[in-house]
Amino acid sequence: MTENSPVPPLGVRENFRLDDRIRGVPPGTIGLDSSLVAAERWHPAGGRMSLPVLTLDEAAFAANRDLFLRYAREQGVAVAPHAKTPMAPDLARSLVEAGAWGTTVADVRQATVMLKAGLSRLIIANEVGGSGGASRLATLAGAWPNAELFVFADSVDAVNALAGAWRANAALAPLRVLVELGAGRAGARTTAQAEAIADAIAAADGRLLIAGVATYEGAAAQPDPGRTDAVISDLLAMMSDMFLRLRARLGGEAPLVVTAGGSVFFDKVVAALSPDISRDGNAMLVLRSGAIFFHDHGTYDRSLGALDARKGFAIAGVEASARHSFQPALRLWAEVLSRPEPGLVICGMGMRDVSFDQGYPTPQTTFRAGKPLPAPTVRAEVVKLNDQHAFLSVAESDDIAVGDVVEFGISHPCTCLDRYRVIFGVDVAGYVRHAFPTYFG
């Protein structure tokens, strides 16, 4: 899609039936066609929706999408957003329709979900395992012969398993394999190991193809920021070296993909890998960023602050603040159930409803009878979560009462979205426009 092409608005093709067994759906709702949900005029603070519920600010998501894709175009890189974050085919499709090169998944089942939604260029950013996983991937490839699949491999054993599955299925087109390098998680740790992986791919009688080199730099992060910089720099230097080695091995005509997670270090990835790739003429750098399109009020907000500190983000050649340019798009809504002590509020939301692995949710706005209270009225902080309760520390003078609805920002989209079968997209006024089904399994 060119820079001036119109970007399709968010929409839903995954129509299904909504009923009151689904989080957020008002009691008594039976068999509502999801395509008709906007006519219901549901609002999470309006008293009808079952709480807690997760909502997606559609305008914020679209703005994040357009901003990151613009950044990628200006940097001359491609994007294959990681679909594991929402596992919502409609949202993944909206990114591809807006200009993303492809879609990333974490396993064979996730690939199936996206293929059935019509998304046919997939990076499986993971090893599939041994002979069992390779056989399952071969079955998937046979069911979708027109799909363009890329898969990671970080060992000779993994390559041999893939080669065995593809030799046993002669009708399959050769499989594109990305040599994975890594630090902190999977991935070959040395150039010698990576070369052995490439040798094994080349020895597979043409059933496998060396498609490029891959990493996930986010796994290399360390508690000490200085150490993080050093480890990621070393990893990306090894990526560049391995890319050049593959180019020398294959010659100039073979197309190659170089891909990294992009996470919150996408500026480092672009700076380290773009020079060699841009000079190549037959290779592309693909970022697999996924959570950036949702952003948050916690871990990603802090990480983009660190990116700003190193002056890593620019639009139209002008330095910009990533932290203030990307917008948190997710909100968790919960009702005040109790104020048992003057300084304590209990909300109906807990560890079963919201992410907490990288920070607690943060209260944003309090609503009473569907109307927002003035911002200075409440200065609450989540200090503890039980399974289904959030403990909020408040000032004794704070105006917050049983029945109020609190809108929370979240920290870490990946471990919040997977708690919901449906993501309710809302308009700028907070009314539900769409119901996006998720497929977390």
Tell me the mean pLDDT in the region 129-155: 98
Distances (CA, A) of 285 to 74, 388, 401: 13, 43, 52
Tell me the mean pLDDT in the region 123-142: 98
Percent of the chain exceeding pLDDT 90 equals: 93
SS3 (DSSP) at 122: strand
- Residue 276: pLDDT band (50, 70, 90) is very high
* Buried/exposed 110-145: b ≥16 CB within 10 Å, e otherwise: bbbbbbebebeebbbbbbbbeeebbbbbbebbeeee
Look-up of token digits 């180019």: 247
Q: Is the pTM of this model over 0.85?
A: yes
In angstroms, how far apart are the furthest CA atoms of the chain? 75
Q: Cis check for the bond before 27: say yes or no (omega within 30 of 0).
A: no
Tell me the mean pLDDT in the region 414-432: 97
Tell me the mean pLDDT in the region 428-434: 97
pLDDT of residue 94: 96
Extract the runs of DSSP E, i.e. beta strands, from 265-354: 283-287, 314-315, 318-319, 330-341, 344-347
Among 243, 246, 216, 248, CA closest to 232: 216
Give the tens place of pLDDT for each residue, 26-50. 999 999 999 999 999 999 999 999 9
Tell me the mean pLDDT in the region 284-288: 98
pLDDT of residue 7: 56
Give the tens place of pLDDT for each residue, 85-101. 999 999 999 999 999 99
Tell me the mean pLDDT in the region 345-369: 97
Report yes or no: 43 and 370 within 8 Å, Cβ to Cβ. yes
pLDDT of residue 375: 77
Distances (CA, A) of 413 to 91, 152, 172, 202, 293: 14, 24, 37, 39, 10
Report yes or no: 421 and 299 within 8 Å, Cβ to Cβ. no
What's phi and psi for 416, nearest 5 deg? -105, -45
pLDDT of residue 152: 98
DSSP 24-67: TPPTT--SEEGGGGGGG---TTSS-S-SSEEEEEHHHHHHHHHH
Report yes or no: 348 and 337 within 8 Å, Cβ to Cβ. yes
pLDDT of residue 249: 97
pLDDT of residue 8: 62
Q: Does residue 309 register a pLDDT over 90?
A: yes
Residue type, 107: D
SS3 (DSSP) at 375: helix
Tell me the mean pLDDT in the region 209-227: 94
Q: Does residue 145 register a pLDDT over 70?
A: yes
Q: Does residue 211 register a pLDDT over 80?
A: yes
Rg (CA), the chain: 23
> In angstroms, rounded to a whole number, what is the distance separating the alpha carbons of residues 337 and 347?
5
Q: Does residue 1 register a pLDDT over 80?
A: no
pLDDT of residue 6: 55
pLDDT of residue 324: 96
Give the tens place of pLDDT for each residue, 68-91. 999 999 999 999 999 999 999 999
Q: Does residue 3 register a pLDDT over 70?
A: no
DSSP type of residue 291: G
Tell me the mean pLDDT in the region 395-415: 96
Report yes or no: 57 and 333 within 8 Å, Cβ to Cβ. no
Tell me the mean pLDDT in the region 293-317: 96
- Residue 308: pLDDT band (50, 70, 90) is very high
Tell me the mean pLDDT in the region 58-64: 97
What's the whole-number average pLDDT of the chain? 95
Report yes or no: 328 and 54 within 8 Å, Cβ to Cβ. no
Q: Does residue 217 register a pLDDT over 80?
A: yes
pLDDT of residue 222: 87
The answer to which of 9-18, 276-285, 341-350 has the lowest mean pLDDT is: 9-18
For the record, the structure tokens of 253 come out as 């005509």
Give the tens place of pLDDT for each residue, 237-263. 999 999 999 999 999 999 999 999 988
